[in-house]
Chains A and B, each alone.
Chain A
Amino acid sequence: NAGVTQTPKFRVLKTGQSMTLLCAQDMNHEYMYWYRQDPGMGLRLIHYSVGEGTTAKGEVPDGYNVSRLKKQNFLLGLESAAPSQTSVYFCASSSRTRTSEQFFGPGTRLTVL
């Protein structure tokens, strides 16, 4: 099993450009998450999904959109990138149980110039 995979691993954008980050999991997990990690700030939840076709806002959703058309995939979109969105983005998935472990992908390092 591959677990949680993310593409791309690295990306450089210019201000105003758009892009989509793809997350895929092969563990049949119901829940999926997108986080960003900045120095000294731990992980902050951007958006999450509790099932196919459903999404919800996390702590820092502004400037991002998500979609979960298939259970195994969770897409994160940036419509008009800003330098403040320079960060490392992590996708995670977990099963439905109350204290379920989150399995993380390897991350995507995004730089917005």
Chain B
Amino acid sequence: TQLLEQSPQFLSIQEGENLTVYCNSSSVFSSLQWYRQEPGEGPVLLVTVVTGGEVKKLKRLTFQFGDARKDSSLHITAAQPGDTGLYLCAGGTYKYIFGTGTRLKVLA
């Protein structure tokens, strides 16, 4: 059974700080996706990483896919209150396994 574990589970930081969220598995995934979910809404895709070692940047967010395609990280630079939400990683091909989630709160 494929599992994706995210850490930390909760994170509360001050505006302007940097943070990293991790998504780890013992299984190899063909691709990994990162989603952000806000209260009362469904998740929204941020990025998809496909190649081992791949790094993608989305403004202040940097996503990395591990060389062995078993793990991924999300780094946020100079966090803002608008980054607050639940961050979910998901792995697979058309049928996805979701991680346990990291709930981020950025305080102004």
Which chain A residues have a beta carbon within 8 Å of chain B's beta carbons?
Answer: 4, 31, 35, 40-45, 48, 50, 58-59, 90, 92, 94, 96, 98-102, 104-107
Contacts and interface: CB of A to CB of B under 8 A. Distances in A.
23 contacts: A4-B42, A31-B94, A40-B101, A41-B100, A42-B6, A42-B98, A42-B99, A42-B101, A43-B43, A43-B98, A44-B98, A45-B96, A45-B98, A59-B97, A98-B30, A98-B31, A99-B30, A99-B50, A100-B94, A102-B43, A102-B45, A104-B44, A107-B40
7 A-B pairs with least C-beta separation: A104-B42, A43-B98, A42-B98, A101-B45, A99-B31, A42-B100, A42-B101
A66 B100 CA distance: 25
A40 B90 CA distance: 15
B47 to A, nearest CB: 10
A98 B94 contact: yes
Contact of B95 (A4, A42, A45): A45
A35 B31 CA distance: 20
A105 B43 CA distance: 9
Contacts of A50: 94
Interface residues of B, number: 25
A42 B96 CA distance: 12
Contacts of B30: 98-99
Nearest to B99: A42
A31 B96 CA distance: 12
B29 to A, nearest CB: 11
Contacts of A92: 42
Contacts of A101: 33, 45, 48
Given A40-B100, A43-B98, A50-B94, A99 B48 contact: yes
Contact of B96 (A40, A96, A102, A107): A102
B49 to A, nearest CB: 9
A4 B99 CA distance: 22
